[in-house]
C-alpha cells in the first residue's frame, strides 16, 4: 500500500530537521588560515610564536582569541590582518589569499576589507571625532554613505561629541570613536586587540556592548584578542592559544568557565628537572 502524505512527512521529518540544522550552522569563512607558522630568530635562539595553526573565522560572528602571555595571540592577529607575514602557511580574507599579495595590493586590501581597534585608541589628535571617524574613507577618497554614517554615529552614541578632539573626550568615548572609525568602511572583518585594556570596567562594558551590537545589528564579523574573561564571554566562539597552538576552540562560554579554562592553561605542565651534564 502507498504511504500517505502524512506518513511520508513523518518519515522524512528527521532528515529535514538535520538538513535545516546544517544550513543554519553552515556559514562562510571570511578569514581562513592554513598551516600558519611564525618563527622569530634562528637556531638555538629561535622562538616558535605560531606552530601550524589552522583557523576559519565565520561571517557575522564575534570570535575571541585568548591565551597566556606569549602564547601567540598578537602574532596570530597581526598575520590574519596582513600586518605581518607568516614564516609558513597561508591566509585568505574574503576569498583573497593575502599571503601572496604585494605590499601595494595588501595595503589596498587592508584599507577596503579590514577595520582595526587598538588598545590605545590610536586617534589623530588634531582631528575632531567626526573627522577621525571618516578618516579611512577620506584616505581612500571615498565618501561616506550618509545613512550609514548616521547609523554608525548613533550606534556609538557620539552625536553630541562630533566636534570634540580626542583630548576633550573620555577614554571610553575615544574608543567609541575608534569603533565607529572601524565600522564606517563596513569592513569584511574587524580586528580588535585588547579593545578594553585601557578602560575601566564600566566604559569597557560599553565598548563591548557596541562590538556585540555591530555583530547582531550590522552582521559585522569581529575578531577580538582579550585577556579578560568577562570580555570574552560576549563572544560566539573562543579560541584558546597555548605555546603557539590552538589548545581549545569553544562556542559561547560563561565568564566563570572562561576564567577556569585560562587558569588551567596558565598552569605550566609538571616540569621535570633533568640534570644535563655538568653545570656551566
Ligand atoms: N619581534 C619579535 N621578536 C622575537 N620574538 C617575538 C617577537 N614578537 C613576539 N615574539 C615572541 O613570540 C611569542 C608570541 O608573542 P605574542 O606577542 O604573539 O604573544 P601574546 O599572546 O600576544 O602575548 P601577550 O598576552 O603578552 O600580549 C612570545 O614568546 C614572544 O616573546
Ligand atoms: Mg599580545
| Residue 117 and residue 189 in contact, taking contact as beta carbons nearer than 8 Å | no
Q: How far is CA 121 from CA 3, 86, 274, in A?
A: 66, 26, 47
- Cβ of 220 below 6 Å from ligand 1: no
Distance CA 174, CA 155 (A): 14
Structural domain contains residue 134: yes
Q: Which residues of 118-143 are buried (b: 16+ CB within 10 A; e: fewer)?
A: bbebebeeebbbbbbbbebbeeeeee
Give the CATH number, domain containing residue 230.
3.40.50.300
Residue 21 lies in a domain: no
The pLDDT, as a whole number, for residue 12 is: 85
Please check whether residue 1 lies inside any domain of the structure.
Answer: no
pLDDT at 24: 53
Does residue 245 form part of some domain? yes
Grid cell, residue 242, equals 597555548
C-alpha distances out from residue 211 to 28, 53, 70, Å: 20, 26, 25
CB 68 less than 6 A from any atom of ligand 1: no
- Convert the pLDDT of each residue in 212-266 to its tens digit: 999 999 999 999 999 999 999 999 999 999 999 999 999 999 999 999 999 999 8
Tell whether 84 is covered by a domain.
Answer: yes
Which listed ligand is nearest to 69 at the C-alpha?
1
Please check whether residue 109 lies inside any domain of the structure. Answer: yes
**Domain contains 99:** yes
Structural domain of 48 = 30-266
Low-confidence residues of the chain, pLDDT below 70? Answer: 20-27, 268-280
The answer to whether residue 271 is domain-embedded is no
**Residues lying with their CB under 5 A of ligand 2, a single-atom ion:** 73-74
- What domain count does the chain have? 1
Amino acid at each position: 500500500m502507498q504511504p500517505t502524505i502524512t506518513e511520508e512527512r513523518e518519515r522524512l521529518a528527521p532528515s529535514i530537521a538535520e538538513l535545516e540544522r546544517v544550513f543554519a550552522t553552515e556559514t562562510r569563512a571570511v578569514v581562513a588560515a592554513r598551516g600558519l607558522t611564525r618563527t622569530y630568530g634562528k637556531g638555538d635562539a629561535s622562538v616558535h610564536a605560531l606552530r601550524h595553526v589552522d583557523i576559519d573565522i565565520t561571517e557575522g560572528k564575534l570570535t575571541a582569541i585568548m591565551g597566556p602571555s606569549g602564547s601567540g595571540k598578537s602574532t596570530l592577529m597581526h598575520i590574519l590582518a596582513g600586518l605581518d607575514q607568516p614564516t609558513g602557511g597561508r591566509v585568505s580574507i574574503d576569498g583573497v589569499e593575502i599571503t601572496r599579495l604585494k605590499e601595494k595590493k595588501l595595503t589596498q586590501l587592508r584599507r577596503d576589507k579590514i577595520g582595526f581597534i587598538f588598545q590605545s585608541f590610536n586617534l589623530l589628535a588634531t582631528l575632531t571625532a567626526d573627522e577621525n571617524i571618516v578618516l579611512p574613507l577620506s584616505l581612500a577618497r571615498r565618501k561616506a554613505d550618509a545613512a550609514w554614517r548616521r547609523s554608525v554615529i548613533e550606534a556609538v552614541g557620539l552625536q553630541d561629541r562630533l566636534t570634540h578632539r580626542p583630548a576633550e573626550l573620555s577614554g571610553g568615548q575615544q574608543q567609541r570613536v575608534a569603533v565607529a572609525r572601524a565600522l564606517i568602511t563596513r569592513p569584511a572583518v574587524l580586528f580588535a586587540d585588547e579593545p578594553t585594556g585601557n578602560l575601566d570596567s564600566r566604559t569597557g562594558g560599553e565598548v563591548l556592548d557596541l562590538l556585540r551590537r555591530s555583530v547582531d545589528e550590522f552582521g559585522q564579523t569581529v575578531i577580538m584578542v582579550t585577556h579578560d574573561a568577562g570580555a570574552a564571554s560576549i563572544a560566539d566562539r573562543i579560541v584558546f592559544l597555548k605555546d603557539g597552538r590552538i589548545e581549545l576552540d569553544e562556542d559561547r562560554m560563561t565568564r566563570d568557565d572562561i576564567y577556569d579554562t585560562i587558569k588551567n592553561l596558565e598552569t605550566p605542565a609538571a616540569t621535570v628537572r633533568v640534570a644535563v651534564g655538568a653545570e656551566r
